[in-house]
Structure 1
Amino acid sequence: MTQALENKPLETNNLAGAVETSDRVASHLHPEGSTNVDDHPVPTGREEVWRFTPLKRLRGLHTDAPFGPGALDVDIAAAEGVTVREVAAGDPVIGSSGYLPADRITARAWQAAGGATVIDIADEAVVEGATVITHTGTGSDVAGAGHVIIRAGKFAKATVVLRFAGSATVADVVEIIAGDGAQLTVVSVQDWADDAVHHSAQHASVGRDAEVRHIAVSFGGLVRLSASVDYAAPGGSAELLGVYFADAGQHLEHRLFVDHNQPKTRSNVSYKGALQGKGAHTVWIGDVLIRKVAEGIETYEENRNLLLTDGAQADSVPNLEIETGEIEGAGHASTTGRFDDQQLFYLRSRGIPEDEARRLVVHAFFAEIIRRIGVPEVEDQLLAAVEAELAAHLKSITTTTES
């Protein structure tokens, strides 16, 4: 029999007892967080963490753009065994992941949300199917703010999907808490209209011997998504996967931070992106901090980008900060390039037309990550979205050739 988690932070994820506050700010790339908006200066674009972001296109999210109701329609389809509830500001479950906003936009969203939606998976619950939270932009003139907290109890197993679509200006916070031995998958799909602006901070706290898989999928609009992970106890494992497809004029920015603050923890980061059209811009920042206490850890991160046309730009910056040599392994890789001519030649030599050969290459490029989600319905929907992007790309090539 399952029961809802108590309305309190999970004991296994009380980071205050695991890592001192002064130790949590050892990385110069990640300053001490605060929920107080005034503690975060207005970014100018000269700061390292903002230098790639087109601030003028954020519609004032980083300054004083008003938040208000009506920007999003939210629908929640909870799987059997999952409890959904709303909590008001000040409830102790808010912030129970140990996360604090690291930038002004996130602090503004934290305050403007005025509470949070809590998704609870009870101890030892094995949830079939996915819980899906759909956010649909209404085209409102005011910005929307949101706060979602996903908590998996000890030895629980579940999948939660966050969907964003439509036209909106949004800033939100997602806290993910995996209790000891839990297996939790969180998929965040940003399938926005071209005029949407979305700033999202998503943080996961991984319990003892727990496994967290976080998958980010971004198509359309201007997206700046920061995904971070730390560990509440030894033995935890985190896998951060991502795919993105940027069209002309779109900006898709993904910032990853894995904080190995416990020994014998593991992380694996793999993001893949494709770009097409003039002004298409993607940014991937992968930061991994291995603290002095984190002996016996293993980590690897990679980012691969495929440029489909001229005029697109992909920035990729992997970083490793290592404070101890007593580790199992640490590495990173980053590549950006065009189609593999040998792959195309191989396919065309077997009678496959060039446009179909290009489609197959890109499809395989993304499918390797999408098929690791583990929810067939979600995988099929995402692959269909990739196919739609590819169809638009091939159509543009045909039009250009004919003209």
Structure 2
Amino acid sequence: MIYIPAGKDKTRKRSIETIPDPGLFHISLSTHRGAAAVPVVSIGQRVKKHQLIAQAGGAVSAQVHSPASGWVTDIGLYPQPDGSKRETVVIQNDFKETKEEVIPTYPGAFTSEEVIQAIADAGIVGAGGAQFPSHIKYRTGTNRIRTFIINGAECEPYLTADYSLMRQYHAQLLQAVALICNVIQPEQVVLAIEKNNKELVPIFEPYLQSLPVPLSILQLQGGYPQGSELQLIRSATGMELQRGIIPATAGVIVSNVGTLYAIYKALYEHTPAIERIITVSGNRTEVCGNYKVKIGTPISHILQTLGISVPHHKVQLILGGPMMGWTVDDHSVSVSKGTAGILLLEKRELHPYNCIRCGYCVDACPMRLMPFELAEAYENRNKSALKELKLTQCIECGLCEYVCPSDVPLLESFRLGKILTNLR
């Protein structure tokens, strides 16, 4: 773990506000891990808010719903934060808020399979960034779940969306936790938060005995990347798992608080995954806060709504956190189910030098990899070496690049290396 200046004071006490809906939504069908969703609407078709617009396209995939009523103006390839272009449904908002009708249900009467199916039908994915379809995670089969970890460890600098969610919607979060406990039957529940957020403890303490199983609060010491799934499992249970191992097989399930809030919205308010909470912040903007925003909202609309200008020669705009997020120059890219923030940071001119093999990246790597050797293997397009050096174990936390005195673009090499070797 490495201490990185947090920069969270600008937004951590801000109440959650709502960004007004844009006139056009750009809803990507393949931001989650796994197969892209398949459109079930056509250009020119009128759609209702909450209507299914794309069906899960495989075993590891997620449904996609319309965040507003209106009509489909295009289905085609549009820019993504990583620079690629992927299939996207464009919906023109009619601002009438005509909703898809649903039959009211009471989640407490659901069987475990019905809860899991409702999560799948709502298109809920991991809100922490990886966007793995949540219904798959909760199908534990014969695995005995000993520990259910609620991930409130928002370790990326500047981001406070999860903190604000826990502070304002703790009761709703715990309703979702109780529901999931009935499904996966864990022996214990651990709420993991940063020690700097200890003021959350008295907010959750009244609920410690209200769940079907015991709930404890784990206060994590400062350090990055403690919110990463594998590092969190180690802190909560002492187990060290390799990346690629399904935690449920070791008796653990981890869910981000944003994911659980989406489950509450789906099961209790009959709202599919069409919105999320993001942080807008950074050291190059005085306009900041935590905001509810619809999935598919272009970044340009958010910036314009908040009155934020972005002089490209001075400001670096990042979608996500400063360590694992994507630098974006095209502001037409939109918010996805895994977008945690929009950050405006001072543009730092990088001057990459040759690797001096100082070993700082090796010391910093939480997965005990050899980052400089991986970078060299990618530079040589050596696929076999990338596999032998366990590129799949890289969690893309960015620590190696953060400590590199030569400004070597290590994280970019690893992301491109996974694409080269088809290891994502």
Same fold, TM-score > 0.5, yes or no: no
Q: Which has the higher helix share?
A: 2
TM-score by length of 1: 0.30
Given the two structures, how large is their TM-score scaled by the length of structure 2? 0.29
Higher relative contact order (CA 8 A, sep 6+): 2
Structure with greater strand percent: 1
